[in-house]
Amino acid sequence: MRSIPGVRVAAQSSIAGKAGQAPAIVFTTSAGTFLEQNVLQEELFGPVTLVVSCSSSAELERIARQLPGQLTATIHGTDEDLATHQTLVSVLQKKAGRLVFNGFPTGVEVCAAMHHGGPYPATTDARVTSVGAQAIKRFARPVCFQNLPDFALSEELRNRNSRKIWRLVDGQLTKDDC
């Protein structure tokens, strides 16, 4: 990014990272440069930020519309800013798997509320995610066991729930035997 005309280093950590680590850095550029340089529109990972200065809400929305799919999109502002820029929110929700307001998309956890759906690269299939409780669906291959006798099934699938685990039986979660 340092070599792209119109991109400046605003700040950089003076602390050298360990081998394989990069120091934190903040770049700045104008909306015009951002729109002209496709490489600037790629999602950034690691301790790096690109601040793009816009002269109007319309210019900001134009940039948002041009973005490819993103894992996250972050909006910093007041509640009034959020209410004023609902069009931007609408555009970003089509571009990102997770919208963050006044925070930083630093962590993920395995919980029902966490999801990274959305356009590529968030996922190649918006019905699944790489994080959260639904992530297991990316790695599961459903198999149907039709007419197998109970003894031939794994313990978790047998009529007797000897492990007392939660199971979905006829659409209902239960720990009961079938």
The full 3-state SS of the chain, as one line of letters, equals CCCCCCCEEEEECCCCCCCCCCCCEEEEEEHHHHHHCHHHHCCCCCCEEEEEECCCHHHHHHHHHHCCCEEEEEECCCHHHHHHCHHHHHHHHHHEEEEEECCCCCCCCCCCCCCCCCCCCCCCCCCCCCCCHHHHHHCCCCCCCCCCCHHHCCHHHCCCCCCCCCEEECCEEECCCC
For residue 170, pLDDT over 70 is answered with yes
Is 126 inside a domain boundary?
A: no
For residue 72, pLDDT over 90 is answered with no
Block residue for tokens 């605003």: 10
Residue 106, pLDDT score:
67
Nearest one of 54, 58, 122 to 94, comparing CA atoms: 122
Q: What is the mean pLDDT of the chain?
A: 85
At 143, list the tokens.
């198999």
Same domain, 84 and 169: no
Is 115 inside a domain boundary?
A: no
For residue 113, pLDDT over 90 is answered with no
pLDDT-derived band at 108 (thresholds 50, 70, 90) equals: low
Dihedral of CA atoms 83, 128, 64, 85 in degrees, nearest 10, equals: 0
Same domain, 96 and 152: no
CATH of the domain at 76: 3.40.309.10
Residue 101, pLDDT score:
92
For residue 110, pLDDT over 70 is answered with no
Count of domains forming the chain: 2
CA gap 122, 134 in Å, rounded: 14
Q: What is the pLDDT of residues 6-61, one digit of tens each?
A: 999 999 988 766 777 778 899 999 999 999 999 999 877 778 899 999 999 999 99
Average pLDDT for residues 95-99, to the nearest whole number? 83
Is 112 inside a domain boundary?
A: no
Same domain, 103 and 15: yes
Please give the span between the terminal C-alpha atoms of the chain, in angstroms, as a whole number.
61
For residue 109, pLDDT over 80 is answered with no
Confirm whether pTM is higher than 0.85.
no
For residue 119, pLDDT over 70 is answered with no
Is 34 inside a domain boundary?
A: yes
Same domain, 12 and 100: yes
Residue 177 structural domain? 144-178
Is 138 inside a domain boundary?
A: no
| Sheet arrangement for strand 8-12 | 8-12, 25-30, 48-53
Same domain, 170 and 94: no
CA gap 116, 61 in Å, rounded: 22
